[in-house]
Structure 1
Amino acid sequence: MRGRIMSVIKNAWLGPLDNPKYLKPYALKFNLNGHEKKWELAKTFDSVAVLIYNTERKVFVLVKQFRPAVFCKSEAAKTVPWNPETPPVNEYSTEPGKTWELCAGIIDRDDKPEEIAIAEVHEETGYKVSITDLVKITRLVNGVGTSGAMQHVYYTEVVDSQHVSEGGGLAEEGEVVEVVEIPRNDIETFCYDESKPKPPGCMMACLWWLNNHSHLNK
């Protein structure tokens, strides 16, 4: 396991969203079969995600991150104050908000998805790969009820010599990414392990690997 591990968050509070940078709420108003509708939506960036497999050590390279949205659905978040009059003094473990994910990133610049994908692999995991190393798995839709954002999902294989830096995300941007490895023979069990929260795209990519590389899993 590599990366900087964040154990707690401090001085947490909930409040309205001011000057959003990555998410813009809006509504679609329409008439469907005679019924007036208003659907609450959020404009977000499309993204890329990469399933990484180390062929030398036969492990999948994934990441763990603290996700505020997941934390806010946990029991721990029930005590987080809403709009306190004075800044709160509190401390919460990040564990209820940590998810197991593919290496991923948003498409927030004009680079091609493949270019962003290889940059994210390096930033988050420390592996150096090229565009020609990527295999496209599929393009899927996230947040079908809210954003409809697209995610480009890729697969790549690496060896230890391609691990050229620590990874862990961009420290200057406050990213804290924990690199984790799942043995090849454990990947199906991992997919259905509810104690390890994960996005559907992560499960899909791992099951894709099992369907297409089952001969390597014997």
Structure 2
Amino acid sequence: MDISTLKQEEFKSSIYIKTKRFSYLKNGKKHTWDFIEALDSVSTLLYHKERQSFIFVKQFRVPLWDYQVRNNIDIDKSELGYSIELCSGLVDKNLSIEDIAKEECLEELGYLPKSLEKVADFYGGFGSGASKQSLFFAEVSEEDKKAEGGGIDDEEIQSVFVKVKEFEEFSKRIVHAASFEFAYLWFMKNKTQIYGL
């Protein structure tokens, strides 16, 4: 992606979000609340059994870039806009959330999990636009590697392998969401004895 070509354009409509304004009366005074209606999403914490590593996604996010630039965040220029994330995708197809999660794992990282374990549902953006994220866990091995990964439609997604024992130090150096840390803590509570870690 050529970051020098980024420019803000007038927002008219989107297939991904809708802007909304609601008004209401409180104590006889009119108030308004502006927010977006957004699609739900799925995320998967992938654990590679042979490597004893998590597999994450590194990709450029325009909203993150915009935030970092507007707020003069002190970060290496080559890392502006890049985040490390769980493998994720929007619930925008007529498929089960499990099937969407598996499809995202294949498209983004090239691994097709045999099964998924539901971890939890989260709701975010209560003030700016509520949506639900369904979190899964999946174990994979090299026999589950079915494609190159890297995303579709000109996505530029990189696979990032992180040893379980190196996660805490790694997470201090990167930009990530709260669900990233939650997934790790869930794994440490529920899976370390199973994997002998």
| TM-score normalised by the chain length of structure 2 | 0.89
**SS in structure 2 at match of 1:73:** helix
Q: Please name the residue that 1:67 is paired with.
A: 61
- CA gap 1:188/1:34 in 2 versus in 1, 3 angstroms: farther
How well do the aligned residues superpose, as a CA RMSD in angstroms?
2.0
Equivalent residue for 2:107, pick from 123, 128, 134 = 123
**SS in structure 1 at match of 2:127:** coil
Q: Please name the residue that 2:41 is paired with.
A: 47
The code of the aligned residue for 2:192 comes to S
- The answer as to whether partners of 1:184 and 1:217 remain within 8 angstroms in 2 is no
For the pair 1:110 / 2:127, whether they are aligned, the reply is: no
- CA gap 1:35/1:214 in 2 versus in 1, 3 angstroms: farther
More displaced stretch, 136-145 vs 44-53: 136-145
For the pair 1:183 / 2:176, whether they are aligned, the reply is: no
Segments of 5+ residues of structure 1 without an aligned counterpart are 1-5, 79-92
* 1:147, distance to aligned residue in structure 2 (A): 1.3
Q: Please name the residue that 1:97 is paired with.
A: 81
The code of the aligned residue for 1:181 comes to F
Cα distance in 2 between the residues matched to 1:18 and 1:42: 13
The code of the aligned residue for 1:211 comes to K
Equivalent residue runs for 1:170-209 within 5 Å: 170=152, 173-191=153-171, 193=172, 195-209=173-187
Task: After superposition, give the CA deviation of every residue in 1:67-126 in whole Å (9 maximum; x if it has no partner).
Answer: 001000123787xxxxxxxxxxxxxx6621000000010011221100100000000000
Q: Which has the higher contact order (CA 8 A, sep 6+)?
A: 1
For the pair 1:148 / 2:130, whether they are aligned, the reply is: yes
Aligned residue-pair number: 192
Taking only the aligned residue pairs, the percentage that are identical comes to 28
| TM-score normalised by the chain length of structure 1 | 0.81
* 1:30, distance to aligned residue in structure 2 (A): 1.8
- The answer as to whether partners of 1:65 and 1:98 remain within 8 angstroms in 2 is yes
- The answer as to whether partners of 1:188 and 1:206 remain within 8 angstroms in 2 is no
Q: Please name the residue that 1:16 is paired with.
A: 10
Cα distance in 1 between the residues matched to 2:119 and 2:39: 20
Equivalent residue for 1:134, pick from 110, 116, 120 = 116
Cα distance in 2 between the residues matched to 1:198 and 1:166: 24
